[in-house]
Amino acid sequence: MVHLSSAWLLGGPLGLFLLVPVLMAPTPSSLCTPLKTLNDSLSHRRRYMKHNFPINYSIQVHYEEIFKLSNISRMRVNVEGLDELMLQRLWFQVNQGILKKLIRILPERHPSRSYTAELETRFRDAEGVFVQAHPDEVFQREPPDPVQDIWDRLTEEPEKVSSWRYATPKSLMDNLCHTMHCLFSHCFTTEAQHDYCGISHWRKGRNNMKPKAAKKPRR
């Protein structure tokens, strides 16, 4: 509030000038550097989050920690007053918890331990820039109720959680990666202008990596 009233006291053009960044709040380009670095690390996730674990190894997570593209598109349609910045805050909140959980289950000398620690460091770097790049007011804003509910459930005491989900480390990191591209798409767009929020974009990518299955001739 202090910020706002002093802006008004300054009055006129200067006050307006000070308020513009708050109102527009685009993703600052300074955030793209740490996010791209994180993206580079994530490119090794198959090896460190899948191959180094037993087949189908899963960890216990909150329902809300399964945060996929479909959640984002559903929330954009259903949650009134939800803006991109709020979704970005939610993205940081959810994934910070997941990375912490992954580190907690990995013994010191597990071959994926240092990789996961590196991911977390890079994630925190991005979060630091995100927080610094926006005025404090942004972080004091009350989230819409459905987002507040998610936050509350994420921080619930483990004893109070009535049911858990299980997810593989790789699937959690896939979610992190895909939703990052969707929510911070301007850092990742190329001249091809992909729709990173569309599930089909990622499906296509996956199929390209697989050898084409030979089609059975019909008849």
Ligand X SMILES: *[C@@H]1O[C@H](CO)[C@@H](O)[C@H](O)[C@H]1NC(C)=O
Residues that bind ligand X (CB under 6 A): 36, 39, 43, 55-56, 63-64, 66-67, 71, 150, 188
Hunting for tokens 């709040």 — which residue is that? 25
Q: How far is the CB of 203 from ligand X (least distance, A)?
A: 16
On whether the CB atoms of residues 143 and 151 are closer than 8 A, the answer is yes
On whether the CB atoms of residues 35 and 184 are closer than 8 A, the answer is yes
Q: Output 39 or 112, the one with its CB closest to ligand X.
A: 39
Residues 6+ apart with CB under 8 A from 127: 92, 96
Q: How far is the CB of 213 from ligand X (least distance, A)?
A: 18
Q: How far is the CB of 113 from ligand X (least distance, A)?
A: 21
**What's the rounded Cα separation, in Å, for the pair 178 and 67?**
10
Q: How far is the CB of 174 from ligand X (least distance, A)?
A: 11
Q: How far is the CB of 199 from ligand X (least distance, A)?
A: 12
The stretches of 59-210 forming alpha helices (DSSP H) are 69-78, 84-105, 113-133, 136-140, 145-154, 169-183, 199-209
Q: How far is the CB of 2 from ligand X (least distance, A)?
A: 33
Q: Output 18 or 32, the one with its CB closest to ligand X.
A: 32
**What's the rounded Cα separation, in Å, for the pair 179 and 193?**
16
Q: How far is the CB of 31 from ligand X (least distance, A)?
A: 13
Q: Output 136 or 149, the one with its CB closest to ligand X.
A: 149
For residues 77-103, b (16+ Cβ closer than 10 Å) or e, as one string? eebeebeebbbbbbbbbbbebbbebbe
Question: Which structure tokens are listed for 126?
Answer: 């991005």
In 3D space, the residue among 29, 33, 25 whose CA is nearest the CA of residue 84 turns out to be 25
Q: Output 8 or 142, the one with its CB closest to ligand X.
A: 142
Q: Nearest-CB residue to ligand X?
A: 43
Question: Which structure tokens are listed for 139?
Answer: 């972080």
Q: Output 137 or 149, the one with its CB closest to ligand X.
A: 149
Q: Output 58 or 121, the one with its CB closest to ligand X.
A: 58
Output the CA torsion 75→80→85→86 (10° steps): -70
Q: Output 15 or 36, the one with its CB closest to ligand X.
A: 36
